[in-house]
Structure 1
Amino acid sequence: MTLGSTIRDAREAARISVQSLAESTSIRIGLLTEMENNNFAHCGGDTYARGHLRNIAAKVGIDPQVFIDLYNEEHSTEHRAIQDLLAENNVMQVPREAKRISWKLPAGVSLSVLLVIGIVQIVISNQGSELSPSPKPSTVVASESALPTAPADVVASTTPQSGPISLKIAAVRGNSYIDIVVDGEHVSKGSMFQGESKSFTGMTAISIYLSNPAGLDLTLNGKALAPLGGQNEEVRRTFR
């Protein structure tokens, strides 16, 4: 049973028409019909879809978590495997099975190399027997005064140490949904409501997923960032 059919069955069990449900939840009739047909493409993203589901659940007398769990399983783009998220942001590579190399290939290459070496040695030995070495006059070259070399410890090489990465997220213009991975570890996932703010610190990388980034202000290492996307969009970024 899909989420859409579950919504329809719950509404009919509560003896509520689509029109009455639309009026009580302020959701368009057309959108309610699409949702009951298991189509959530026009809900405005995961955050708004979950809000609609909670409103519907309250009107038909169903635990909202039932709808939310089905939505996450069937439609949510936020509940993919964390390995896929990290791979998209170059934090880690998906392991691939190593290809087996046939023993025939290295054996053939080795034989070819030995054959080439043998031919080269024969050619060199033949040329050496034909040419008689002529003595070279010894020359004495006056050595110029050697340039003084600086002591090894005069210039000390320094390797710059990269500092920690600090990221602050503030929901100042609306609600959003975030998914945060710091140094390869999943540290935060869930809704952010207007007025909330969260801070994260990492040593190598911070990967983020944002829903409705237009409602958020991001500060990286004390510097305010430009908006990462528009209203109801979904974006992913990695900071190093």
Structure 2
Amino acid sequence: MSIGNSPEDERPFDDVTDVSDVPEKPRTSIGRALRQARTAAGLTVDDISTATRVRIAIVHAIEADDFAPCGGDVYARGHIRTLAKAVHLDPAPLIEQYDAEHGGRPAPTPAAPLFEAERIRPERRGPNWTAAMVAAIVAVVGFVGFTVFKGGSGSGAEAQVAEGATPTQSRSASPGDGDGKTSPKPDPTESAIAAAPQDKVTVQVSAVNGRSWISAKDHSGRLLFDGLLKQGDSKTFQDSSKINLVLGDAGAIQLYVNGKKIEDDFQPGAVERLTYTKGDPQVG
């Protein structure tokens, strides 16, 4: 009987495997890891594309470890990070694996040279078209406003004819008996009545007894005038077949249709809707 180690303990250790000789288990690729996580989550490629807004073709390419369709390392890292979050994977290890397999991140550009280059670069400025357009619009608006103001402050007694009709009598305010009131417009002369065209309807509206709002439209409904006639003002409208009038205060208005005076007894403050044709004076 021997004292010490047993024969089994004294046998050589030749059958012990060296740890360094054990082959390392291959690392799962980025695309395969993303595909397995997607499948485990029960999601399709369409589901991932809809959730992440990454195109289906790019999702298929990344899952096949083809990163060329991504358009560069920056976009590839962004897509990997987005897809990993969508399938509940930690994107950091996948980004590190991508950097290790594709050369790592590019070295940052030194700040000082970039700053110097930007500082010495000559600044080129094109014409400021926005400011020019604004200035032009302001000038046009100012000119139109001045024209409107100038026209409104002038003699409102000039008769205006719609549709390029023949000119009518103009009324000028004449002083009364010292109370500042204008004298009523005299009735049209025989020559003025004869000048009314026979192939058109001609309506003259005169505010002889006060001021009144009026509206005038032609046969097609096109608005010829819509505004206030002050006392002493006059408007003349012509159309090929019909004139439609709305008088806000008919009692203040005197009408001449086709050169003839309308003798209707309009009441002060009454609103009248009138239609005249070539065969009038007859209220339509």
Q: Which has the larger radius of gyration?
A: 2
TM-score > 0.5 by shorter chain: no
Larger relative CO (CA 8 A, sep 6+): 1 or 2? 1
Range class of TM-score, shorter chain: 0.3 to 0.5
